[in-house]
Structure 1
Amino acid sequence: MSLNSQLLNGKVAIVTGASRGIGREIALHLGAQGAAVIVNYASNANAAKEVVDAITKAGGRATAVQASIGRDISQGNKLVQAAVDAYGGLDILVNNAGVYLGGAGSEGVTEEQFDEMFAVNSKGPFFLLRAASKVIRNNGRIVNISSASLASGAVSLFGAYAPSKAPLHEYTKLFAAELAGRGVTVNTVMPGFTATDMLSDKILEIAKASSLFKRVGTVEDVAVVVDFLVSPTNNWTTAQSLHVSGGGTLSR
């Protein structure tokens, strides 16, 4: 991945769950465009360091910050404060962190798995949004990463995972309304099946067959849409949910 644009020069971004997968790619994109990036991770410090190193070696600025926002809402405050302390403020928040536990259907999920998914995928993002909304600068950008499975029969493949992501869409509308007076946009991105370590080979094969392009989505496919939404030139698109699914029949 190589971006030459410095469109985000001077901006400060937080990307949650940025040590791997979609979050990692988003962090790399933002760093390559000039943003100083808080690379959030829950437990994999080595992977987060690799992301920071990749950004800094390319001439950017990045800092890894451990915070498990779903398990303790004060961790969201910690993450926002880290951005302010390290880089003087906050302009971009990408609520990407998520966890998938359990099997297909309602019977494949234990109470403990249910609680963990809703904590990380729903509760944590809400309180992080609230903390960030207090300090994000005028004309800031917020992107929540949800799932295209919410809009289709694919929801049955993931048990309680898709339902745990559903609140993000309501948060998007709520915070978009609250922050509109300051020029802050808030949107949701709904990736379809994307090649990350979250999905099994079986599910990836199903995804490939369902796509109009007969392939699985890549993390790059998602990151470029986030690039558009956080761009200073995008000052009109807000309170929206955008599908990034390659026209997959399981995500329409």
Structure 2
Amino acid sequence: MKVTLCAGLLGCLLSAVAVPAAHADAALDALVAAYPDFIAGYDAKDLVLKSGKHIPLSNGIADKTPEQRIEHADILDMFAMPYTLGADYKQPATPADDPGRARNQALFDAMYGDCTKGQVKLKTIQWLPALNGGSLRVAAANGVAEQLEVVSRDLQALPSKFHVYLKPSAGTYNCRPIAGTSRMSMHAYAAAIDINVKFTDYWRWGGAKKETDKVSYKNRIPMEIVEVFEKHGFIWGGKWYHYDTMHFEYRPEIIALAKKS
């Protein structure tokens, strides 16, 4: 189901986010296509799930700061910052440069379940089996497990100099909020993986504590690894101003939109 967004109401919705009308339509189409088991379509004001649930495209908060866009993300906020594929991305320079980091929790709860209520369905996969990487528990929904298995296959085929970054994995499923917030981590949905923490750089480890604090960007993860994950629908936390370079999360809607840009 898709109803074309009316110009008047769309203008009202987009007043709260930095999303041009044409980009919003493409973003919503990408979102529907990315999660066909759960999303039926959208109308002039809501994302419509196959369960019958409606999630507002905008929560009506005008002129959001980057911090508010993260803390109170609506559907359109998830696409406010474009994600750039591969090595051509620019080092994030401002707190607004967090492409894909905004997540509407109502949507992800609806798709993956509430981990605090035992609703997240898990599947065990082998991580880098040729390298004895061990097993991981990941989401059974949305093809996350299958895509991560393909990622694993392609990563272990990289030259051996890259393998040190990949194992041991720092984990997948973890029913917890994001550090310093009440928002649930993508790990709570088992739709994210952290690679070897030994080579990780994280924005809070540099002394920053608040979203508004100045951050000095650091990264040691090779782009060859990032490109494998992106090829199979995972975005990289190293492309955020609030960087988390060991972190990859399954966001096929963000990757699909980036391919069209």
Length-normalised TM-score, structure 1: 0.28
| Larger proportion of helix | 1
Kindly name which structure, 1 or 2, has the bigger radius of gyration based on alpha carbons. 2
TM-score, with length taken from structure 2? 0.27
